[in-house]
Structure formats: C-alpha cells, structure tokens
Amino acid sequence: MQVTSAAVIVAAGSSRRMQGRDKLWVQLAGRATLAHTIDTFQSSPVIDTIVIVTNAERLPDVHALCQHEDWHKVIAIIPGGARRQDSVRCGLDEVARQVPGCQWVMIHDAARPFVTGNILEAGLQAALKHQAAIAAVPVKDTIKQVHEGIITETPDRALLWAVQTPQVFSFPLIHEAHHTPLAQEDMTDDATLLERLGHHVAVFPGSYTNIKITTQEDLLFAEVFMTASQKI
C-alpha cells in the first residue's frame, strides 16, 4: 500500500544546556549533527518529504547545507517558535500547505542524529496500526519522584519507558490536535497532546543509542559513537 509520509525535523532550539555550543552544528565525524539527522530521513524509503524547522538566524546555514548535500526531499526550511511544540506546529502547518493529502508524519528532534532507517520503518508500521506511535526504550535505572529533595514515589520500573523520537502520527490527527486550545499548555513531547485529548498512543522500539544530544556529556558519547559507526 503506497502511503505518503512527511518528516518534520525540529532544529530551532537554543542549546541552552550545552553551555554556549550550538549542538546542532557541532561537528561529529566531520559533519554537523543536523546533517547526520537529515541524511537518515533523506535516505529512508518511507519518507517522501522533509520540512526542517530551524532558528531564524540559522536559515541561511540550513539552506546552504541542503544545497550542498542535495537533499531533494527537503521541501521547506522554516523558522520555528519559542517552544519545541511551537516549532512542531510550524512544521505541521507547512506540511499542510505543501503536501495536500499527507497521510503520515514523523516528528523528530534534530538533536537525535543516531536515529536509524530501521527505527523510521518500525515507526511507520506502528503508526499504520495505531494511528500514533512513539519511539521508546525501557528504562534501565530506578526512577524516583522527588519533591524538595525528598523521595515521594518510586514508580514500578517495569512500567517505565524513556521516550525518544521519531514520534509518528496520522497527519490529520496530530495536525488538528496542535490546533486545539489544549495545545497551548506546555508539553515536552507531541504524544502528550494526544494522550490528554484521550487518544491511545503506542510505543515502538527505539534504541539506547538514539540519544538526544542535550548536555556536554552527550557529546563525548556522540563523538565516539559516530566515529565508531562510520568505520562499520
């Protein structure tokens, strides 16, 4: 069955937790973090079009990168918003403008450059079944809920998953959700919006290497892993 799927790659953050370095333009094995991420989507047979959402000041750099790399699936490079969810909405609105009838959308953090084609394909298969599915991995550490330095709860670890991206959705479903009043509330991922609207969201296997580059320590892993995986 031929499906049309778009990717919204959100790259409009400020890297505040990176102590002054722009994590999306740090060089990993000789290429910017952002380039590694986009490459995987450009190479994936399940992705037809790509919308990149970036900072206004980085628009020229992303345009230059896309021209240099010849990523023909990239149909738009647009500015994002104040929050991740605002950038996602900007990307979804652009997909709606440029891809009439789009059926599926993958929303992915540009800061997750180690996503694989297999994860993208697993995500689409899960979304075809559930309408909404997100990459996740079982947590390995015991997680505690803490209030003012005191433990208030220890959730059952067997029920806890660490959420990643891509988050894959029926496009009409997630696009409409991002235009409900509830969408104005702060949320750190897109699945939360659907959950709060009463929709079931499934998880599908991500990977423990599909990390989000967030702090300097993540760069240590990223540089080693990217170099090692280039040699495979």
Ligand X SMILES: C[C@](O)(CO)[C@H](O)COP(=O)(O)O
Identify what 164 binds: ligand CTP, ligand X, none; CB under 5 to 8 Å per kind: ligand X
**Interhelix angle 33-43/117-130, nearest 10 degrees:** 60
Number of residues that bind ligand X (CB under 6 A): 9
Between 22 and 69, CB nearer to ligand CTP:
22
Q: Give the x/- contact pattern for ligand CTP in 71-90, rule: CB under 6 A.
A: ---------xxxxx--x---
CA pair distance 174, 50, nearest whole angstrom: 16
Question: What is the H or E stretch that residue 68 is in?
Answer: helix 59-69
- Least distance from ligand X to the Cβ atom of residue 211, Å: 10
Question: Binding to ligand CTP by residue 210, rule CB under 6 A?
Answer: no
Q: Name the nearest CA neighbour of 65 among 101, 18, 33, 109.
A: 33
Are 131 and 199 in contact by the 8 Å Cβ rule? The answer is: yes
Of 3, 14, 216, 227, the one binding ligand CTP (CB under 6 A) is 14
Site for ligand CTP in 106-145 (CB under 6 A): 109-111
CA pair distance 9, 210, nearest whole angstrom: 15
Residues that bind ligand X (CB under 6 A): 84, 109, 163-165, 188-189, 212, 214
